[in-house]
């Protein structure tokens, strides 16, 4: 049987292509890409000339069995998405599932992914985190989803478009509170890479003054309720000490 390789591609800066990703893309029999035109340009840049087929949410039902048949016959396949890691808010999962069912080796290559890249520079806890990706677009559904996340006590990682980020921050403020710490990680690895760190209320003011542009990872600090309580009691104690003049 052939092997299925899951190959990460850059999230902006082409220099983030790894040596191993290039080697695998050059040696496989077939590359399955989310968008063949988009990936065609990347492959052209790196002078990779392997056959390309599309694999996305509208054709996977037909395409996955075709690719599995090729893998079963001994051909190797690399899967790539438009940017970053396949399967992370991108197509990929169905092919992986089918490969596992068919006892085909699935090899995941490490590489860029926007959420993790943003997390470790955000300053929010990276010890425990929950990746959510895109929230539902519809306002009522988005709020319902955020309500469900209220109990989670880890850093939350969202993907968001510049057109919806203010609306999403507004709902985060409504559901989690105005003091919630957020980080907006924008245009990672690209020319206008920037981080905004502050409360959700401040971030909303910031976005009124600076039009949202480019790609965003939105990170949210979810402090355990008990930490908030102990912080409050500590502040009360300090205030009492100040009053007493100690
Ligand atoms: N598979 C990708 C990954 O591993 O990160 C994610 C693909 S998802 C369709 C695209 C979203 O990822 C964008 O809308 C944005 O939220 C985020 N993203 C991708 N590249 C980014 C970048 N360079 N800077 C900030 N966010 C980025």
Distance of CA 109 to the CA centre of its chain: 16
Kindly give the interhelix angle for 165-176 and 139-149, rounded to the nearest 10 degrees.
50
Residues 78, 32: Cα–Cα separation, whole Å: 6
Q: Kindly report the pTM of this predicted structure.
A: 0.91
Express each pLDDT in 178-187 by its tens digit.
Answer: 999 999 999 9
pLDDT at 240: 82
Express each pLDDT in 117-141 by its tens digit.
Answer: 999 999 999 999 999 999 999 999 9
Return phi, psi of residue 162, to 5°: -60, -25
Helix (H, G, I), strand (E, B) or coil at 132: strand
- Kindly tell me if the per-residue pLDDT of 34 is higher than 80: yes
- The interface predicted TM-score (ipTM) is 0.99
Return phi, psi of residue 189, to 5°: 70, 0
Confidence of residue 223 (pLDDT cuts 50, 70, 90): confident
Residues with C-beta less than 6 Å from any ligand 1 atom? 11-12, 81, 83-85, 88-90, 113-115, 159-161, 185, 187-190, 215-217
More confident position, 222 or 193: 193
């Amino acid at each position: 049987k052939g092997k299925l390789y899951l190959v990460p591609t850059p999230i902006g800066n082409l220099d983030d292509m790894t040596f191993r990703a290039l080697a695998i893309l050059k040696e496989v029999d077939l590359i399955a890409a989310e968008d063949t035109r988009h990936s065609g340009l990347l492959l052209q840049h790196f002078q990779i000339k392997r056959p390309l087929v599309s694999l996305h949410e509208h054709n996977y039902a037909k395409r996955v069995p075709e690719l599995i048949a090729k893998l079963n016959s001994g051909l190797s396949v690399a899967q790539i998405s438009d940017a970053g890691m396949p399967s992370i808010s991108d197509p990929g999962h169905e092919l992986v599932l089918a490969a596992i069912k068919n006892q085909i080796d699935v090899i995941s290559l490490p590489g860029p992914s926007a959420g993790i890249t943003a997390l470790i520079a955000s300053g929010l806890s990276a010890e425990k985190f929950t990746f959510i990706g895109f929230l539902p677009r519809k306002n009522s559904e988005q709020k319902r989803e955020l309500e469900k996340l209220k109990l989670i006590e880890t850093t939350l990682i969202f993907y968001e478009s510049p057109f919806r980020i203010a609306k999403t921050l507004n709902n985060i403020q409504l559901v989690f509170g105005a003091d919630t710490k957020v980080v907006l990680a924008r245009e990672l690895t690209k020319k206008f890479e920037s981080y905004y760190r502050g409360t959700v209320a401040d971030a909303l003011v910031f976005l009124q003054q600076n039009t949202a542009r480019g790609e965003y990872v939105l990170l949210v600090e979810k402090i355990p309720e008990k930490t908030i309580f102990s912080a409050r009691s500590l502040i009360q104690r300090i205030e009492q000490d100040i009053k007493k003049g100690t």
